[in-house]
């Protein structure tokens, strides 16, 4: 992958939004862009980016319904269902 594709993937990742309540498409697209941008699943920045574009109600629901609160990207993704 060239540097332009890497930078584009990072920019696309920062701009991705979940639309229409389609969490599965959001997770699939996010994961693809995350890998293209060079993020690892266990990086804090990847988790921060993922949570940032979830609807606020879903973030609150995940926090309130999980003890302990998910602390990895994988656990956050699993908790969206």
DSSP category for residue 77: H
Rounded (to 5) percent helix, strand, coil in the chain: 65, 0, 35
Instruction: For residues 49 and 16, give the distance between their C-alpha atoms in angstroms, rounded to a whole number.
Output: 9
pLDDT recorded at residue 1: 58
Within the chain, which residues score under 50 in pLDDT? none
Q: What is the pTM of this model?
A: 0.84
Ordered DSSP codes for 48-61: HHHHHTS-HHHHHH
Q: For the chain, which residues make up each domain, given as ranges?
A: 3-79
Q: Burial code of 33-58, b = ≥16 C-beta within 10 A, e = fewer?
A: bbebbebeeeeeebbebbeebbeeeb
pLDDT recorded at residue 28: 94
């Amino acid at each position: 992958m060239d540097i332009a594709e890497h930078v584009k993937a990072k920019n696309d990742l920062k701009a991705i939004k979940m639309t229409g309540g389609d969490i599965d498409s959001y997770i699939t697209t996010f994961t693809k862009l995350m890998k293209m941008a060079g993020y690892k699943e266990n990086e804090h920045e990847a988790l921060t980016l993922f949570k940032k574009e979830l609807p606020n109600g879903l973030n609150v629901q995940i926090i309130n319904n999980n003890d302990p609160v998910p602390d990895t990207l994988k656990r956050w993704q699993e908790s969206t269902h």
